Structure 1
Amino acid sequence: MPLYKTIKPNNFTSIYVWKIEESFNELSKNISLTNRSEERLLSMRSELHQRGFLSVRHLLKAAGYTDFDLFYNGNGKPHLTDGKHISITHSFTFSALIVSDVEVGIDIEMNREKIKIIQHKFVNFERGFIHKDDDYIQQLTVIWGAKESLYKIYPHGGLTFKNDIDINSFQISDKKTTGYIKVEGWDKNYDIYFEQLEGFTLVYALDTAKKW
């Protein structure tokens, strides 16, 4: 299918979401890849991952870019040749990317019972506000997605979700919260937004330094 959704949180940030329903062959059409991307694609053992990879290239096209405009630093963080900030995510049947003038991160996750089992690995400060009368799985998925988004923003790697990133209080109905990275020399707060897409949670974080 074509582009599933476009979100404009402000006048200098755009989000593009793709629902992956096409076959590998369909997604391969009208897309040019760098040699590095061709090698990476062929090295993937899962067709689901291959389709996710190709869908992201269609999202780049929707955003006005090509695979040749995208490169990665030593920590695997994506960058665009025009200097704009970008973050990329895909999970099962959805992929998304965000492009902005400010630091951004994005994550999409399927809402699954499994997250209850692994919550001890990433929930710390947040334990104090999780609401038992709210959707527990969605809350945990928002926390994970928010921490993943902030992890993607931090350029140096090495953060732990449990100890180095805090997400502030929210309810699912709020559709937004704030969060911060707790490491020396990185004193920044971020606005975090989230929404539901057909059983998936989409979360994205924006640097609060620039207001609109």
Structure 2
Amino acid sequence: MPLYKTITPNSQTCVKIWKISESYIDLMKPLALTKASLERVEDMKSEIHQRGFLSVRHLLREFGYQDADLYYDNFGKPHLKDGKHISITHSFNFSAVIVSDLIVGIDVEKQRDKITIIAHKFIDYENDYLNEGSPDYIRKLTILWCIKESLYKLFLTPGLSFKNHCFAIPFNIEDQETIAWIDYKNQKHRYNIQFLEFEGFSCAYAIA
């Protein structure tokens, strides 16, 4: 399938989402991968991960980049050679890339009941406004996970904790935006968050 969705949060930022319906072979055909990327994708044991990896390269093409324009630092954070900021995510049959002049982070997650099992590991302050009996509890938990993951990717600091350092103010799903902050080593960093849902998935992105 071609590009699933394009979002322009502001004049400096663009989000592109890909629905992965193609086979590994069809995704691979038009791509020119670096040797390192080719070795990496061939070493992946799961075809889902292989297709996710390749779909991200298709998204890069949608932005006008090639695989060779992307590199990773020692922390595993992706960078573009032209200096623009980038964040990457994929989950099951969706992948997304955000590119901006600003520092950004993005995450996509499938909405699943099993998130309740790990909620205690990443939710603290948010328990004050979450209603476990609410019909949108799973959806809100998934959005919160995406928010905190996007903050983590944006900040990328060793020792940063979803539960202890990343927080989001109360939000309504239909608002598709909220404010979040990182409280780390006696410093608070505030971020604008936007989120959306599609086909049983949640996506959130943070913009510095």
What's the TM-score, normalizing by structure 2? 0.96
User: 2:165 aligned with 1:164, yes or no?
Assistant: yes
Matches of 1:182 and 1:169, distance apart in 2? 17
Matches of 1:193 and 1:152, distance apart in 2? 15
How big is the shift at 1:155?
Answer: 3.3
Contact 1:4 1:18 in 2 (8 A): yes
Number of positions where the alignment pairs a residue of Structure 1 with one of Structure 2: 207
Matches of 2:128 and 2:157, distance apart in 1? 29
Query: What is the aligned partner in structure 2 of residue 59 from structure 1?
Result: 59
Judge which range, 169-178 or 42-51, deviates more: 169-178
Query: What is the aligned partner in structure 2 of residue 102 from structure 1?
Result: 102
Judge which range, 19-28 or 29-38, deviates more: 29-38
Root mean square deviation of aligned Cα: 1.2
Query: What is the aligned partner in structure 2 of residue 210 from structure 1?
Result: none
How big is the shift at 1:92?
Answer: 0.2
How big is the shift at 1:181?
Answer: 1.2
SS in 1 for 2:3: coil
User: Which AA in structure 2 matches 1:30?
Assistant: P
Query: What is the aligned partner in structure 1 of residue 140 from structure 2?
Result: 139
How big is the shift at 1:184?
Answer: 2.4
1:79-158 map, 5 Å: 79-131=79-131, 132-133=133-134, 135-158=136-159
How big is the shift at 1:156?
Answer: 2.7
Query: What is the aligned partner in structure 2 of residue 35 from structure 1?
Result: 35
User: Which AA in structure 2 matches 1:183?
Assistant: Y
How big is the shift at 1:124?
Answer: 0.4
Runs of 4+ in structure 1 off by over 4 angstroms are: none
Q: Structure 1: where are the runs of 5+ without partners?
A: 208-212
Q: Structure 2: where are the runs of 5+ without partners?
A: none
Matches of 1:185 and 1:41, distance apart in 2? 41
Contact 1:134 1:172 in 2 (8 A): no
Give the percent of matched residue pairs that are identical in Structure 1 and Structure 2. 53
Does the C-alpha gap of structure 1 residues 147 and 26 become closer, same or farther in structure 2, counting only changes over 3 Å? Answer: same
User: Which AA in structure 2 matches 1:138?
Assistant: R
SS in 2 for 1:127: helix
How big is the shift at 1:56?
Answer: 0.2
How big is the shift at 1:39?
Answer: 1.3
